[in-house]
Structure 1
C-alpha cells in the first residue's frame, strides 16, 4: 500500500497527496486515507502549541533587543511562525468535513 501523505517541512505535518480523483479510490482505500488523515489532523493542535511557545520566546527576546537588525529578524521570524499557525488552522478546519466522513 502506498502512502497518500507527504511530509511538509514548513508545517511539520504530513499533508494529503492524492494521485487520482477521490472518487477513483475504492471505498476501502478512502477509509484508510481518512483514518490516516484523522491521525495527522489530531496532531495539529499540539504542533500549533509548539510554534506558539517558540513565538513567545522570540517575543521575549524582541522585548529585550536593542539591535535594529536583530529586531527586524526576530519580527520576520515571528511573522513566519504566525503564518505557519494560520496555515495549520486552515488545514485543521477546512478538512473537518473529511474527518466527519469517518464517523457518519
Structure 2
C-alpha cells in the first residue's frame, strides 16, 4: 500500500490519506492514487457482503435471545455493522468523484 492510504480497522480497507488539495498532486501521483483506489474500491462489495452476513447472524441470534441486555447488545452491534455498510457505500461512490476530477 502506498503512502497515500491508511488502514481503517472499522471498515477493513485502506482509505485515502490526502494531505493536500487534489490539484496540488502531480499527474503521476494522481494516476497512482486513482489506480490504487480502484483496486481498493473493488474490494468494497466483498466487505459489504461480509458485514451483511454478520448482521444476518446477529439477527438470527436476536430472534432467539431472551435476555433483554443481550438483545440490546445485539441491536447495537447490528446498528454498528449497518453504519459500516453505509460508510462503505459512501467510499464506493468516491471513485466517481475522483474520476470526474481526473478527466477535467
Normalised by the size of structure 2, how large is the TM-score? Answer: 0.90
Whether the 8 Å CA contact 1:35–1:102 is kept in 2: the answer is no
Counterpart residue number, 2:19: 19
Consecutive unaligned residues in structure 1, runs of 5 or more: none
Distance 1:97 1:53 in 2: 29
> Aligned-pair distance for 1:102?
6.6
Counterpart residue number, 1:98: 98
Q: Structure 1's 103 and 21: CA in aligned 2 closer, same or farther, altered over 3 A?
A: closer
> Aligned-pair distance for 1:48?
0.2
Whether the 8 Å CA contact 1:44–1:88 is kept in 2: the answer is yes
Normalised by the size of structure 1, how large is the TM-score? Answer: 0.90
Backbone CA RMSD of aligned residues = 1.8
Q: Secondary structure of the equivalent of 1:95?
A: helix
1:2-13 mapped onto 2 (5 Å cutoff): 2-13=2-13
> Aligned-pair distance for 1:5?
0.3
> Aligned-pair distance for 1:97?
2.8
Aligned pair count reads 103
Per-residue CA distance 1:48-85 (angstroms, 9 max, x = gap) = 00000000000000000001000000000000000000
> Aligned-pair distance for 1:96?
1.9
Consecutive unaligned residues in structure 2, runs of 5 or more: none
Q: Structure 1's 92 and 3: CA in aligned 2 closer, same or farther, altered over 3 A?
A: same
Counterpart residue number, 2:71: 71
Decide which moves more: 59-68 or 13-22: 13-22
> Aligned-pair distance for 1:25?
1.2
